[in-house]
């Protein structure tokens, strides 16, 4: 996927100026495709040169003139081609996860704070997505909107953003709690608590072979 396709998709609801496009990205499209405003302006210019979008100048009485852009037939054809092409699997690339990977060998304090900050950021995004979704569906309930709403595509992408941030928040809160508990145990001279302590994590470590366990022996008799 290229930025051009995200821009074309963002323009499907009607004409937008470059500024309005940047705002639309910030509250919606950015949950699956991030771009800086200057990248969006440059992409709009390229799309216009290629005939995939068209712009018109609008004179404003109390403000400078602006240009509004809309998708052309050629732009719709490009989106049709893009939608029919196979999609590549997505992947995570996150420096915070690299830090958590090294959690056993670095100071846990700063890492715990960063994880909690990420959880707070996710919570703020969750609130934003919920407000956007309510605005999109208006007076309709969610299931009714999903069946008959005017534009279901943006709603579905916002649902994906909401689910992502909810998962992000939950993982961060759990990770922070685990790291804090382990850090406190080590500071107190103990050893970190292990979930399911007393039950070996790997079969065969500290346990009798399955063939000699009483319940297995009884089953065999």
- Per-residue pLDDT tens digits for 12-34: 888 999 888 888 777 666 667 77
Q: Which two tokens stand for residue 140?
A: 């309709």
Show Cβ contacts of residue 149 under 8 Å, excluding neighbours closer than 6 positions: 136, 137, 140, 155
In this prediction, residue 154 carries a pLDDT of 87
Contact call for residues 159 and 28 (beta carbons, < 8 A): no
In this prediction, residue 198 carries a pLDDT of 46
In this prediction, residue 109 carries a pLDDT of 93
In this prediction, residue 117 carries a pLDDT of 97
Q: Which residues of the chain have pLDDT under 70?
A: 1, 27-31, 190-221
In this prediction, residue 202 carries a pLDDT of 41
In this prediction, residue 87 carries a pLDDT of 86
In this prediction, residue 186 carries a pLDDT of 83
In this prediction, residue 192 carries a pLDDT of 58
In this prediction, residue 95 carries a pLDDT of 93
Element (H, E) at 71: strand 66-71
In this prediction, residue 205 carries a pLDDT of 42
Q: Which two tokens stand for residue 127?
A: 């609130």
DSSP 16: B
> pTM, whole model, 2 decimals?
0.70
CA distance 192 to 19: 52
Reduced to 3 states (helix: H, G, I; strand: E, B; else coil), residue 191 is coil
The pLDDT mean for the chain works out to 83
In this prediction, residue 93 carries a pLDDT of 85
In this prediction, residue 26 carries a pLDDT of 72
């Amino acid at each position: 996927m290229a930025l051009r396709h995200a821009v074309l998709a963002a323009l499907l609801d009607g004409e937008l100026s470059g500024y309005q496009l940047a705002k639309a990205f910030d509250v919606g499209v950015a949950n699956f495709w991030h771009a800086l405003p200057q990248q969006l302006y440059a992409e709009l210019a390229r799309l216009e040169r290629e005939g995939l979008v068209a712009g018109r100048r609008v004179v404003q009485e109390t403000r400078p003139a602006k240009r509004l852009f809309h998708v052309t037939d050629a732009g719709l054809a490009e989106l049709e081609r893009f939608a029919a092409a196979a999609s590549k699997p997505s992947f995570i690339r996150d420096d915070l996860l690299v830090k958590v990977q090294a959690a056993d060998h670095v100071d846990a304090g700063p890492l715990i704070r960063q994880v909690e900050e990420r959880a707070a950021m996710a919570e703020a995004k969750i609130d934003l997505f919920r407000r956007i979704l309510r605005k999109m569906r208006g007076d309709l309930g969610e299931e009714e909107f999903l069946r008959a709403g005017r534009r279901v595509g943006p709603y579905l992408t916002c649902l994906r953003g909401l689910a992502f941030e909810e998962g992000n928040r939950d993982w961060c809160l759990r990770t922070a709690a685990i790291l804090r508990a382990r850090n406190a145990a080590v500071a107190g001279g103990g050893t970190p608590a292990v979930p399911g302590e007393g039950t070996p994590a790997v079969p065969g470590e500290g346990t009798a072979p399955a063939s000699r366990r009483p319940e297995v022996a009884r089953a065999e008799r």
